[in-house]
């Protein structure tokens, strides 16, 4: 009998969490927190600028597309990648 009570209480807990008011209160918590930030907002801007520089600018200037410049067809590119992946295991 006690197991069924525990299962029912667990089901009620899941229902309570999965209802829209829970998600709305969760959303409001973060929304209000971000609206009241002053220093944090500046720090988030710095973080996003750094990520942009790392993933976009560095990719454009320092990491050229090796496969497109050295191989003309998709089959040649696929063969090269396969050789690099499997060939290094055979050499060890």
Predicted local distance difference test score (pLDDT) of residue 26: 80
Quick: pLDDT tens for 37-67.
888 889 989 999 999 998 888 888 887 788 8
Q: What is the pTM of this model?
A: 0.44
Report which of residues 88 and 48 the model is more confident about.
48
pLDDT tens, position by position, 5-44? 555 565 656 666 665 677 778 888 888 887 888 888 899 8
- Token look-up 């295991």 returns 89
Q: What is the pLDDT of residue 60?
A: 83
- CA 42, CA 2: separation in Å to the nearest integer? 53
């Amino acid at each position: 009998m006690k197991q069924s009570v525990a299962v029912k209480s667990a089901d009620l807990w899941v229902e309570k969490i999965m209802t829209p008011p829970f998600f709305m209160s969760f959303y409001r918590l973060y929304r209000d927190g971000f609206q009241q930030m002053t220093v944090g907002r500046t720090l988030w801007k710095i973080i996003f600028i750094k990520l942009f520089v790392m993933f976009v600018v560095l990719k454009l200037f320092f990491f050229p597309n090796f496969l497109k410049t050295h191989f003309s067809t998709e089959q040649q590119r696929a063969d090269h990648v396969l050789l690099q992946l499997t060939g290094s295991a055979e050499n060890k």
